[in-house]
Structures are given as structure tokens and as C-alpha cells.
Structure 1
């Protein structure tokens, strides 16, 4: 396997790789936002019914949002490593 420098690729190949990162990032962001909204609503509703103080809700909501974002970032990285990006794919190799 021969490493390729991104700067040496033709412009069309560079654009294909950038587009692959971009649309997957947008899809991941939208999925994260949707799931975060749903989870936040469910957790907020459940905590509101249970009588938790209103001052604790932003902290708990922020924690749920953080965990959701981290989960979706993990999915994004896995998706990039498993996908074809234009005519290429990302491969992890040991750093020398």
C-alpha cells in the first residue's frame, strides 16, 4: 500500500474526498441533533414529572447532549474509516 499525499491528487479527486467528508458530517450532525432533541425531551419530561428542581435540568440536559454528541462522533469516525471517499479510502497504519 502506497501512501498518497492529498496535495498531489488532481482537483477532482480532492473535491470528491472533501465532499465525502462533508456530506457524512452533515448527516451525522442532523442525526445527532434529532436524537439529542428527542432524548432531551424525554429526559426533561421524565425529570419534570419526578419533581427534580428546574435548576438541575440544564446540567442534565447538557450531559445528555454531550453523550449523544460523543456517540455520534464515534459513529462518524467509524463511517469514514469504512467508506470509500471518491476513489480512495482511509486506512490506519502504524506511525513510525
Structure 2
């Protein structure tokens, strides 16, 4: 029953931008359970592992995972400088 709570929490995070932002700072299952408890979800880090194992068995899981990773780490979501292109050299030429 607790692994279903993990999935409910992850679904909530997918729909709630504030929670999604908090979730991006999580580094391990223990931090995930602490965040979830603050949001009213009760489960253990063992339940996180069980839920992830179950999700991996669902068809299309890895495709959705790849999409989520690409979305999370795309340039629109980090502090990368804007693309400005190649700038012409304006210094002195070598002699």
C-alpha cells in the first residue's frame, strides 16, 4: 500500500510546479521520503525502491523516463548562458 503512496506523490509532483522544483533538489530516497512527509505522504525509502521497481516493469517507462530527463536538464531549465553564436575576432593579427 505504501508503494502506491510513492506513485501518488510522484504524480502530484508532476502536476505541481512548486513541488516539482523541490523534488529536483532531492539527492536520495531518504530525502525524498522527508520531502513527501512534509507534503503529507507517508512512505519509507524501501517503498520508493519497490515503487520504482514496479514502474520499471510498465510498458513505455524508459521512454517516459528519457523524456523527463531531457525536460529536466534542457537549457530552458538551467542557468546556461544564452546562445549568442560565434563572435568575430577583433584583435590585432599576429605578425
- TM-score scaled by length of structure 2: 0.26
- Structure with bigger helix share is 1
- Structure with bigger strand share is 1
Task: Determine which structure has greater relative contact order: mean sequence separation of CA pairs < 8 Å that are 6+ residues apart, divided by chain length.
Answer: 1
